[in-house]
Amino acid sequence: MAAPKDMYQCQVSNCGYVYDPDKGEPKTDTPPGTSFKDLPKDWKCPYCGSSPKTFRPLAGPGSVVVEGI
């Protein structure tokens, strides 16, 4: 499992999907080892269909914890 700073969570209400780069995402044909920043520009959340702009890291700069959201 990747470190929390490398995992990103969808912030759309009622979603909360967490992208783990170590697992990739079979539903979007994203292979394991693909970092969040290397996802294709047209990649969408496999559960709610939102863009990567709605995601925040689980830890570190820009995270929900640091931003106090």
Provide the mean pLDDT of the chain.
91
Residue 57 vs residue 1, higher pLDDT: 57
Half-sphere CA count of 31, side-chain side, radius 13 A: 1
- pLDDT (mean) for 3-15: 94
- pLDDT (mean) for 4-15: 94
Are the CB atoms for 52 and 15 separated by under 8 Å? no
- For the 4-37+44-67 domain, the top CATH level (class) is mainly beta
Residue 63: predicted pLDDT: 85
3-state secondary structure of 17: coil
Residue 54: predicted pLDDT: 95
Q: Is the pLDDT of residue 30 over 70?
A: yes
